[in-house]
Amino acid sequence: MSALLQRLGAFCARHHRLVIVAWLVIAVGLGVTAGRLGTETNDNVSLPGTDSQRAADVLERDFPAAQNGANPIVLRAPAGARLSDPAQAAVVARLERAFASDAAVQSVVSPLTRAGIAQLSPDGRIGYLDVTLRDGPTELTLPTAERLLDQAQRIADAGRLEIAAGGYLGADLSQPGSADSDAIGLAAAVIVLLFTFGTFVAMGLPILTAILGLGTGLSLITILTHVVQIPSTASALATMIGLGVGIDYALFVVTRHRELMAEGKSVPEAIEGAIATAGHAVVFAGGTVIIALCSLLLTGIPIVAQLGCVAAIAVLVAVAAALTLLPAALAAVGTKIDRLALPGRRRGKEALDSRPRLGEPRDDEQTGVWWRWARFVARRPWPALAVALVLIGALAWPLFTLQLGQSDTGQLPRETTARQAYDLLADGFGAGVNGPLLVAVRLEGADRAADAAALEKLRAAIARTDGVAVAGPAVPATDGRAALLTVIPRSAPSAEQTETLVRELRRDAIPAALGDGAGAPRAYVGGQTAGFIDLSDEISDRLPAVIAIVLALSFLLLTVAFRSLVVPLKAVVMNLLSIGAAFGIVSYVFSHDWSAHLIGVDGAAPIVSFVPLMMFAILFGLSMDYEVFLMTRMRERWLETGDAHRSAIEGLAGTARTITSAALIMVSVFCAFLLNGNPTIKQFGLGMAAAVAVDATVIRCLLVPAVMTLLGERAWWFPGRRGSRTTAPEQAPADAAERPPVRVSG
């Protein structure tokens, strides 16, 4: 692997102009194509074999308009007025005519007509136009959605009516942008890199490489939305991960390149050496993340698999950029990499010579911060172990109260039209109207009178069920072989009471009304709310299997890399601890109103059901990055000295600065996404920032060196090896798996 990477680095250095031009052509080509095609996302929850999926199948065949969902254009009259008052009624009529005459609209029902009487609130002040669009959620374009709302807004303003759009029309108009998060994350990365490298030129290379790689990856993902179904949160998640790992991977390569140049290597030699060593670590670390993400395909849950594959694409492009574009850029910059240094900062060989080297004798006069810290931990391993476990235990404790559920429109920012429509509908009709349950019924169709009687019995049973506000009349399909009942819960879509209602309908009300005899109608509870409840159940059932697969694959990879059984086992346990702490932090923040307000959420909210599963795969891969960087250095020192105590100290001292710098970049990027209005993205951002912060500090800089000191040479035990040493110093293997990915002086 190292020889192959070395040849790749040499090629990119020799032909750096060609490589840079090729990247630019590919990036621009994909960007132009993606811009012309636009984005087609799909948030429908497809869960084969579940009750909600059976309902969706019936709706797709017999009630396609209901399958797409309604698009309520919600209106509120001024204080003291009603929508039925002459002045307001004239505005409502104008709105109805405007929508009815628009080519994008299939039908519209006014709340002031006999057919729409249920669309008017009891006090007459709030109502909604039920608009059915010709395009479904995946076909509706943003320009069309903006035009429809702008037209309605002008008419409503003239009549002093408050207006907001719900449904997938409002959702398209309320998608939160990530531009602010991207800019803040990049700004933080620039500051960290500037102080890490000390020069503007060296700082700029990881930033430019990561941006170009991220842009290429996002363009590719946008194009893929026209081929496969991809959720709307996918791009923000890919941006978060792609930007973080892209800068981090480039950081390690540039760090190694500058060290080799400072040791007297020529620019081409330094590039080859950096790609052969740091590049090998990038391949291993990126490969671990990609494997963990692709393992989500094994869940059989489409939305989870789609998010995993999209994030894996972003990581794959980031790895490719670090191994090809970055060495080409390093060759183009050449010896000017240390230009534009910060005042008072040393450069190049002078900086290297001023720092203590690994492998050289150390004494009590060493003053490096990380050297002193490593020696402090190694001298007191039991207290360090106890402190680390107490901290992690305290952070992970709220994990036991983790509440899975679904986010709803009521958690979006108040300035979005979808949130405004949600609040208006809740004020006028109750919170449950924002998450109707669609009960799809399969009928034999042979005896329509018997079917009608069965449907009425079903409607009455549903209406009597605790938690039901309204059970609408059954609407039969044209062929008489299906029917649809719309059920409005009393509680909000994300409330636990709604989940209880769905389970009670399926378990008690529907079977009691229809029976289970041959030829009896079959009813299924569907709709988006029921779909997310089923998603939560499916994830709970499959999460243990996914965790086991990821743990097994990671253990095997680390066993091959380090030729030890204890080190991979330790790594698996440490990663589980950091992920548990992250889950605990997310659970606590989102289960309390005061802490949720701090990150821009109106109040306590459940954790979206697929977030823990996605976070586990992502974080396990990201945690492995730091594990590889730290343990490879410790192993190198063990092979050279045979002193387990010394290898633990020098391994930490030699990598802590790079690990903490890389982690600070990732934490900054992830925290920037707390500004995103989507509560699901906030949960991802907080969870990943917390996990990386805990992993790079408590785990890697405290717990791991303490455990390695206590284990001593037993940490490097492997079956079939003779003697306590894994390999004699003079026989240290030359392959890259045995060498440190990044050589950083303390």
pLDDT of 474 strictly over 50: yes
How far is C-alpha 523 from the geometric centre of its chain's CA atoms? 35
Q: Which two tokens stand for residue 666?
A: 């990732």
**What is the residue whose two structure tokens read 């991960």?**
241
**Segment 567-616, tens digit of pLDDT:** 888 888 888 898 899 999 999 999 888 998 888 888 888 888 888 888 88
pLDDT of 264 strictly over 60: yes
How many Cα atoms are found within 13 Å in the side-chain-facing hemisphere of 102?
Answer: 24
Closest CA relative to residue 50, chosen from 502, 680, 512: 502
Region 24-53 average pLDDT: 84
pLDDT of 219 strictly over 70: yes
**Segment 282-296, tens digit of pLDDT:** 887 788 888 888 888
What is the rounded distance in angstroms from the CA atom of residue 393 to the CA atom of residue 581? 7
Beta bridge partners of 524: 440
Q: Which two tokens stand for residue 490?
A: 């009393």
Q: Rounded to a whole number, what is the distance in angstroms from the first to the last CA of the chain? A: 27
Q: Which two tokens stand for residue 252?
A: 């390690």
How many Cα atoms are found within 13 Å in the side-chain-facing hemisphere of 447?
Answer: 9
**Segment 512-566, tens digit of pLDDT:** 888 776 667 889 998 888 988 898 888 888 888 888 888 888 788 778 777 788 8
Q: Which two tokens stand for residue 608?
A: 């979206």
What is the rounded distance in angstroms from the CA atom of residue 529 to the CA atom of residue 411? 15
What is the rounded distance in angstroms from the CA atom of residue 658 to the CA atom of residue 745? 9
Q: Is 247 left (phi over 0), alpha (psi -120 to 50) or beta?
A: alpha
Contact 648, 741 (CB under 8 A): no
Closest CA relative to residue 399, chosen from 602, 578, 534, 538: 578
Q: Taking the CB of residue 570, how many other CB atoms lie within 10 A of it?
A: 20
What is the rounded distance in angstroms from the CA atom of residue 184 to the CA atom of residue 350? 33
pLDDT of 299 strictly over 50: yes
pLDDT of 629 strictly over 80: no
Instruction: State residue 342's pLDDT score.
Output: 64
Contact 189, 669 (CB under 8 A): yes
**Segment 63-96, tens digit of pLDDT:** 876 666 678 999 999 988 999 999 999 999 999 9
What's the Cα-to-Cα distance from 6 to each of 262, 264, 323, 326, rounded to whole Å? 19, 18, 10, 14
Instruction: State residue 732's pLDDT score.
Output: 37
Domains located in the chain, CATH noted: 1-38+198-355 (1.20.1640.10), 374-402+563-746 (1.20.1640)
| Of 444-448, 494-498, 605-609, minimum mean pLDDT range | 444-448
Instruction: State residue 356's pLDDT score.
Output: 40
Contact 52, 45 (CB under 8 A): yes
What is the rounded distance in angstroms from the CA atom of residue 695 to the CA atom of residue 572? 12
What is the rounded distance in angstroms from the CA atom of residue 199 to the CA atom of residue 315? 27
Question: Maximum distance among all alpha carbons in the chain?
Answer: 96
Q: Which two tokens stand for residue 305?
A: 């698999």
302-320 and 200-224 helices, crossing angle to 10°: 140
DSSP type of residue 739: S
Q: Which two tokens stand for residue 525?
A: 């509870």
pLDDT of 202 strictly over 50: yes
Q: Taking the CB of residue 743, how many other CB atoms lie within 10 A of it?
A: 22
Judged on CB neighbours under 10 Å (0-12, 13-18, 19+), 478 is exposed
Confidence of residue 354 (pLDDT cuts 50, 70, 90): very low
Q: Which two tokens stand for residue 342?
A: 């910060």
Contact 205, 333 (CB under 8 A): yes
Instruction: State residue 341's pLDDT score.
Output: 66
Q: For the whole model, what pTM was predicted? A: 0.80
Helix (H) / strand (E) element for 72: namely strand 71-76
**Segment 372-398, tens digit of pLDDT:** 898 999 999 999 999 999 999 999 999
**Segment 450-459, tens digit of pLDDT:** 888 889 999 9
pLDDT of 657 strictly over 50: yes
What's the Cα-to-Cα distance from 599 to each of 178, 578, 682, rounded to whole Å? 15, 22, 8
